[in-house]
Amino acid sequence: MYQESLSTREMEILRLIADEYTTEEIAEKLFISAHTAKTHRRNILLKLDVKNVAGMIRKAYEINIFQISMPQVSSL
């Protein structure tokens, strides 16, 4: 459901956010303005119904938008 609601550009930006690019770096890499990158970021937050980037990445992982290698936490 969520994946279908994200545009191709939003998916691209989401992947760059997950790769730790800043808004300014995303804008430069995609040849768009920083304002446009911020608008895409805001739209992703709204479409995924999350409050921040941590929630955005968590939701993307939960709904398998892309796979993230998560380290295994050993129990003590």
pTM (two decimals): 0.79
Instruction: Name the residue ranges covered by the structural domains of the chain.
Output: 2-62
Cα angle 63, 67, 71; round to 5: 110
C-beta of residue 71 within 8 angstroms of C-beta of residue 10: no
pLDDT band at 4 (very low <50, low <70, confident <90, very high): low
27-76 per-position pLDDT tens digit: 999 999 999 999 999 999 999 999 999 999 999 888 887 665 545 555 55
Please report the pLDDT score of residue 69 as a whole number: 54
Q: How confident is the model at residue 75, as a pLDDT?
A: 53
| Options 1.10.150.120, 1.10.10.10, 3.80.10.10, 3.30.70.1290; CATH of 2-62 | 1.10.10.10
Is residue 11 within 8 A of residue 43, CB to CB? The reply is: no
Task: Determine phi and psi for 27, rounding to 5 degrees.
Answer: -60, -45
CA-to-CA distance for 59 and 49, rounded, in angstroms?
A: 9
